[in-house]
Amino acid sequence: MYNSFMRNNFENDLISLDKIGIVYNSNSNGYENAVETIKCELSRHNINFVVNPIDNMDNSVTLALVVGGDGTLLRAARYYASFGTAVFGINMGRLGFLSQSSVDEISSSIKQILDGQYNCEERLMLSANPGRLSALNDIVIKSESFSRTARLFVAINGNNVCDYLADGLIISTPTGSTAYNISAGGPILVPRLNAFIIVPICPHSLNARPLVIPSNEKIVITSADNSKRLKIAADGQNLYSVPENTPITIRKHRNRAKILMLNDKSFYSVLKEKLYWGMTNSKK
């Protein structure tokens, strides 16, 4: 039987295993088998657990094992950030960049967690107002009519910085730098950096480039055309229609998401394994 606290070898943090939550997305094919495998492994080590769907998470758990794709993990991470609870992803989707385990690796991954072979990383999050939205990956701003371009003014700490004519803007965290940001031509940031990325989507100017700024900056975005309403998307999941003549304020969220990372799967190894970073086609 394992102790109820397991030591993090990197930071000597203690993560309680008194009550582990198994969170699943019922829309993920094969989630039942994954959940059963996790239950068997935890029961074998006499670990207390509860099982909940993503729509009804338990805030009393001390660690959440999340079964699903990146979208499921993002939703769980945002929710548990309010309670300081770490999440660990078991991928049932296509890419699963944030997840540390596949279904075939469940047994070995749980053993590593029980043995303390992990690092609990705190990840920056974004908040956006109006709408009181939170995001672990990114905030995306577009015209309410998504087929139209928008002219957007960006001010940072009260200084007018950019005037974009584009399909929209992405404000990304380092965690989200491998998501929509990279597709729009933004840079990849190591997750532990305290910075955000501002990236125009399909800008109508060759001198419109991504901008990396410190995470303590205050970003205010306004529309040049007051008759056009804007829409905000947080992590591609939560949408909010911005009233006319209303500026959008984006800043660092007061909470940080906690992601459990296995020692043998660094950010750089995952970058190479899942995005084939720096590899020629012949080496894939």
Interval 167-211: pLDDT, tens: 999 999 999 999 999 999 999 999 999 999 999 999 998 888 999
Q: How many residues appear in the chain?
A: 284
pLDDT at 79: 98
Which residues does residue 51 pair with via DSSP β-bridges, in sequence order? 22
Higher-confidence residue of 276 and 172: namely 172
Catalytic residue among 13, 58, 70, 115: 70
pLDDT at 281: 61
pLDDT at 148: 79
pLDDT at 22: 98
Question: Taking residues 127-152, what's their average pLDDT?
Answer: 91
Question: Taking residues 124-137, what's their average pLDDT?
Answer: 97
Contacts of 271-278 spanning 24+ positions with Cβ under 8 A: 271/178, 271/188, 274/95, 274/96, 274/97, 275/97, 275/178, 277/188
What value, to the nearest 5°, has the Cα angle with vertex 87 and ends 83 and 91?
A: 150
**Which pTM was predicted?**
0.90
Asked if pLDDT for residue 50 goes beyond 90, the answer is: yes
Give the pair of three-digit tokens for residue 20: 């582990």
In angstroms, the CA 231 to CA 241 distance is: 5
In angstroms, the CA 19 to CA 64 distance is: 9
- Short-list 220, 224, 270, 218, CA closest to 248: 220
pLDDT at 279: 64
Give the pair of three-digit tokens for residue 99: 């997840």
In angstroms, the CA 233 to CA 104 distance is: 33
pLDDT at 231: 94
Ranked by mean pLDDT, which of 8-22, 163-177, 219-233 comes out on top? 163-177
In angstroms, the CA 151 to CA 229 distance is: 11
Asked if pLDDT for residue 9 goes beyond 70, the answer is: no
Domains, in order of start, for the chain: 5-124+256-283 (3.40.50.10330), 126-252 (2.60.200.30)
Task: Assess whether 70 carries a catalytic annotation.
Answer: yes
